[in-house]
Structure 1
Amino acid sequence: MKARHFTYVSHPARVIFGSGTVGQLPDEVDRLNAQRALILSTAAQQGDAEALADRLGPRVAGIFPGAVMHTPVEVSVLATERARELGADVLVALGGGSTTGLAKAIALRTDLPQIILPTTYAGSEMTPILGETSDGQKRTQSSPKVLPEVVIYDVDLTLGLPVGLSGTSGINAIAHAVEALYARDRNPVIEALAIEAIGALARALPRIVAAPRDPAARSEALYGAWLCGVCLGSVGMALHHKLCHTLGGSFDLPHAETHTVVLPHALAYNAPAIPDAMAALVRVLGPDPAAALFALGRKVGAPAGLAALGMPTDGVDRAVDLALSNPYWNPQPLERAGLRDLIARACDGGPPRSL
C-alpha cells in the first residue's frame, strides 16, 4: 500500500446532542455572554420560535420569522437590518436549512455568534458555507464568519417532522457524505465519518417511515445528519451540489427534494471515476449504490423526478449550460451529452444510468 498524503482541517464548534437538550439554550446564551438574542424561524415555525422565546425570557430581543428557501439576498438584508435595530448580540436559529442559512447570512454581515437548533437533517449547521440567491442564481461562499458557534441537537425537536420531509432531508444529508468520499481534498478521517453517516441514515429513514415517532430511529438519523454536516463542512463539493444549487436557485425547486432526486444520477455519472468510493458505498448500501439511493427515495415517498417538483421540461438545456458555467471540480470530466442525459433522466424520474 502506497503512502497517503492528505490535509485535514477541523472546524471549531460546540455540539450538544441528546433528548431534551433545548433546555440548555439559556445556559449557552449566557456562556456566550449574550443578553439580546434574535430568534430566527420560518413563518410556519413562528409558534415554535415564540415558545423558545418564552424559555429565554428577558434574554430575547425579538423574533424574525421570515426565513425562506434558498436564502434570498433581499431577506438576508432585511433580517440583518432587524438584528441591528434590535441591538441583537446573538442569533438563535430554530429550524432547517432555510433558517440556518439566514442565520449565516446575518452573521456574514454582522459577525454575530450563532446558536443553531436543527429540526431537520439538513447538516448545514456544521459548515462554514453559505448559499444565497439573487437574480435567479444561487451563489455559495465559504467563510469562518458563518460557521455557527453552538449547535444544539435535540432529538425531541425532530419527532414531529413529517415523514416525507424526514426522508428527503435525510437523503439530502446523505448527499453531503457521498460527495465527501470522492472530494478532491478528501481524507481518511472524513471518509470514515461519511461511511458511518450514510449507514446510520440508510438504516434510520425506513424505520422512521414505519414509526415516525420512534426515538431510537430519530436519534440515529439526527446522529447521521450531524456527521454528514461535518463532512460537508470539511471538504469540497462536486457535481451533485453544483447541479442542486443550479436547479434550486434557477428554477426555484425545493432544496431537499432536489437533492433526493439528483443524488443517484450524479453518483452514477461519477461511478466510473471513483472505484474506491463505490467500493466503500457497497459496504453500507449494497451492490449497486446508485440504485439503492434511488430505491431509498421511493421508500420514503419522495418524488422520483424533478418534473414533479416543478422543473420545466424545456429547462434541461438551460440547466446544462448553467452547470457547465463556473463548474465545481469533479472526478469525472463534465461532458455536455452526459450531463444532458443525467438531467433529463432526473427530470423524467427514470432510474440512474452509469456512463
Structure 2
Amino acid sequence: MAGWQNARVTTGPLNDRPADPSPLLALDIGGTSLRAALVQGGRVLDRVEARTPRPATPDAVITAALELARPLAARAGAVGVACAGAVARGRVTATATHTFPGWVDIPLAERLGAGLGLPCAALNDARAAAWGEFAAGAGQGTTEFMFVTVSTGVGAGLVLGGRLHLAGNGLDAELGFVTVPSHWHAGALTPAGQLAPLEFESSGTALNARAAALGFADARALCDAADAGDATADAEYRHSAAGLAWKIADIAALLGVTRAALGGSVGLRPGYRTRVQEALAAFPERYRPEVVHAALGADAGLIGAALWAARSARHGEAQDGGAQDPSTRDASAQG
C-alpha cells in the first residue's frame, strides 16, 4: 500500500520530481481566510494568514491577497494559487456561488502574477489539494488517485495516469454536483424520491441541517453522538457516508481509481472513513478503491498549488491563458 499511513510532507524529491531550486509561493484563496506560504521540496517553510475581505469582490480579494503575499514573494521563484470555483488556464471561469458570488471570467493568475512579479499558475482548491496529496501525501505510489474533501460542501480532484485531470472549462471532478437519490431524513434538503446533488446529502452543510432537526448543536455534535453509539445520529451519519461511497465506486468503475483520500472537516473524521468503507463493501471488490485519510491536512492545497506552479513554470505555461494546460503533457513531465 505504498506506506501511505506514514506519509509526511518531506524535503526530498517527490514522485521523481527534481527538488525545487528555490522556494515557491503558494496562495490559498478561501471564503473565510486568505493564506500565503513559502513551500520548498513539499514542505511549508513560512506562512501568513488574513481574513477574506467583505464583500468578497474580485478586486478586494485580489488586493488583499497581494498585500498578504508580497513580504514572501521576494524569496520565491513562482507562485501557485488555489481558489474556490471553476478555474481553467488561470482564469476563474465560474463562480463558487456561496463563496465568491459573481466571480466569472476573472484572470486570477494574470493579475496575481503581475502584482507579485512572478510566474503564476492557478487551480481550483480541490484540484490543488489532489495534486499536493498525489505528489507529497496519501497519493504517493499510485497513478489513478482521487482526493475528496467533505466539509461545507463536497469537492474532488482526480489524477489519472499520473496526470492531474483538468477540463478546459474548469468544470471537472465536480463531485458535489453529481446526483444521488434523496431519501427522507431529518433536515432533508430535497424531497424523498427525487435526485439530489451529493452535496445536499453528504456535506457538512447537510449534516448540520440534520443535526438541527434532531436537536443536536451542529454536525460535529451529531457525528460525535453517532460515534458514541446513538442509533438515530448514526443513521444520519451513515446516510452521508453511503452517498459518497456510491460515487467513489462509480468513479472507480469508470476511471480505474485505486485510492481515494478523504479530507475536510467531515472527511478527516475516523468514524466517517470507517462508514464510507463499510458502505463500499456493498459494491464489487474491483470497484472498491482503498479509502485513506489525506496526509497533508489543511496544507494540501498550498503544497499542491506550489508544486503545480513549479512544473508549470518549467514548461512555460504559467500565467498564460491560452497555453496548453500542464495536465495534457506527457506524464514524464508531470513534476
Q: Could you tell me the TM-score, scaled by structure 2's length? A: 0.31
Tell me which of the two structures has the higher relative contact order, counting C-alpha pairs closer than 8 angstroms and 6 or more residues apart: 2
Would you tell me which structure has more helix in proportion to its own residues? 1
> Which structure is higher in strand share?
2
